[in-house]
Structure 1
Amino acid sequence: MAISLSKGQKIDLTKTNPGLAKVVVGLGWDTNKYDGGADFDLDASVFCLNGAGKAQTESDFIFYNNPQNANGSVVHTGDNRTGAGDGDDEQIKVDLAAVPADIEKVSFCITIHEGAERNQNFGQVSNAFARIINEATGEELIRYDLGEDFSVETAIVVGELYRHSGEWKFSAVGSGYQDGLAGLIRDFGLSS
């Protein structure tokens, strides 16, 4: 049975699951009916961050056009352009043991592709969630349902895996950005 988290909660991942080496982070969402005329395309992206909370190179930004980091320890499995259907809309595989030692956090984000241009925001998105699955067994370990507390945001930092005393933990962040992917790229130390 998965542990359900609320915004701001942190939980041990590897300490409470001995031997856990590879996880799948599943991100999902539904879009509400609206008459804006344009398709709604949400994208998962990942930033591998150092101790200062910054990405060190472009390869530390993983998304549909750069599907893995330099050593392949973080892999985006593909772009879902509609969000239709049940379950995960996009997934990221993380080999915890292989994440480079200088990476302290792996931050998972959802952005709305061309959200500002299409006049779309997370107020039009429902049932957004993140979950962590043990890749070896398929067991869901952690689930974080974001709730409906977003309105004008076009990007969300959903959560992050981070190292603490040699173990991996997960933090349910749930922090929104009004300036979309560009704001995330700026704040995580990459030029847009």
Structure 2
Amino acid sequence: MSINLSKGQRIDLTKTNPGLTKVVLGLGWDTNKYSGGAEFDLDASAFLLYEDGKAKSEEDFVFYNHLKAYNGAVEHTGDNRTGEGDGDDEQIKIDFSRIPSHIHRIGITVTIHEAESRSQNFGQVSNAFVRLVDEASGREVLRYDLGEDFSVETAIVFCEVYRQGADWKFQAIGSGFSGGLAALVRNYGLS
């Protein structure tokens, strides 16, 4: 049975699910019909963060042009440029056993590609969610539906998975940014 989370909630992953080492974060969304004529292209990314909450190099940033970090410890399965269809629009896989010890937190984000030039924002996006699936069994462990709380934002931190001692936990974030991917990159310490 999957657990539905609300904004800000935290949940144990590995302590309450012994043997959970490989997970798939499925991210999905729909776009409203009032798009202004341009196609929507939403992009999932992962920021691998040190203890200070910052990424240190391009190796710590996984997205459609850099699909793997740390020999596959975090892997983006590929860019979906339309978001058409049901289910996950993009996925990020994490193998907790391969995450280097200096990485303490992984921020999972979604941005709208060329949002400014296309006059698009998350006010035009609905049914956004992230779900965490046990890769070995295919069982959905948890789900966080973001709701319709956004208007002018062009980037959202959906969630974070983070290390606490030997265990990994999940936090539903749902925090929006204006300024798209560039704002997120700066927020997480990259230029």
TM-score by length of 2: 0.99
Corresponding residue number in structure 1 for 2:15? 15
Taking a change above 3 Å as real, the CA distance of residues 35 and 75 of structure 1, as seen in their structure-2 partners, is closer
What are the residue-to-residue correspondences of 1:17-166 with 2, within 5 Å? 17-166=17-166
SS in 2 for 1:116: helix
Kindly provide the amino acid, as one letter, of the partner of residue 67 in structure 2.
Answer: P
Q: Structure 1: 5+ residue runs without aligned partners?
A: none
Q: CA RMSD in A?
A: 0.7
Shift of 1:71: 2.4
Distance 1:41 1:71 in 2: 27
User: Residues 142-166 of structure 1: CA distance to partner in whole angstroms, max 9, x if unpaired?
Assistant: 1000000000000000001000121
Identity %: 65
> Residue type matched to 1:173 in 2?
I
TM-score (norm 1): 0.98
Distance 1:47 1:136, change over 3 A: same
Equivalents in 2 of 1:137, 1:72: separation in Å?
Answer: 19
Whichever residue aligns with residue 31 of structure 2, its letter is: T
CA pair 35-176 structure 1, distance change in 2 beyond 3 A:
closer
CA shift for structure 1 position 70 = 2.9
Q: Where does the alignment leave 5 or more consecutive residues of structure 2 unmatched?
A: none
Counterpart residue identity of residue 68, structure 2: Q
How much does 1:35 deviate? 4.5
